[in-house]
Amino acid sequence: MGVTVLPANCNDRDLLKPVLCATPFISSWERVVADGGFASPAVASICQEMFGITLEIVTRPEVNDAKQKGFIPLPCRWVIERSFAWLGRYRRFAKDYEVLTHVSATLIKLAFIRLLLKRIPTTLP
Tell me if 51 is assigned to some domain: yes
Residue range of the domain that includes 79: 12-60+70-118
Tell me if 22 is assigned to some domain: yes
Q: What is the DSSP string of 97-118?
A: --SSHHHHHHHHHHHHHHHHHH
Supply φ then ψ for residue 55, to 5 degrees.
Answer: -95, 120
Rounded to two decimals, the pTM is 0.67
Q: What percent of the chain has pLDDT over 70?
A: 83
Q: Judge contact between 116 and 17, C-beta under 8 A.
A: no
Tell me if 114 is assigned to some domain: yes
**pLDDT for residue 63:** 65
pLDDT digit string, tens, across residues 91-121: 888 777 788 888 888 998 999 999 889 888 8
pLDDT digit string, tens, across residues 34-87: 878 888 888 889 888 888 899 888 877 776 665 666 666 676 767 777 888 888
Tell me if 52 is assigned to some domain: yes
Q: Structural domain tally of the chain?
A: 1
**pLDDT for residue 89:** 85
Report which of 44, 43, 38 is spatially closest to residue 58, judged by C-alpha positions.
38
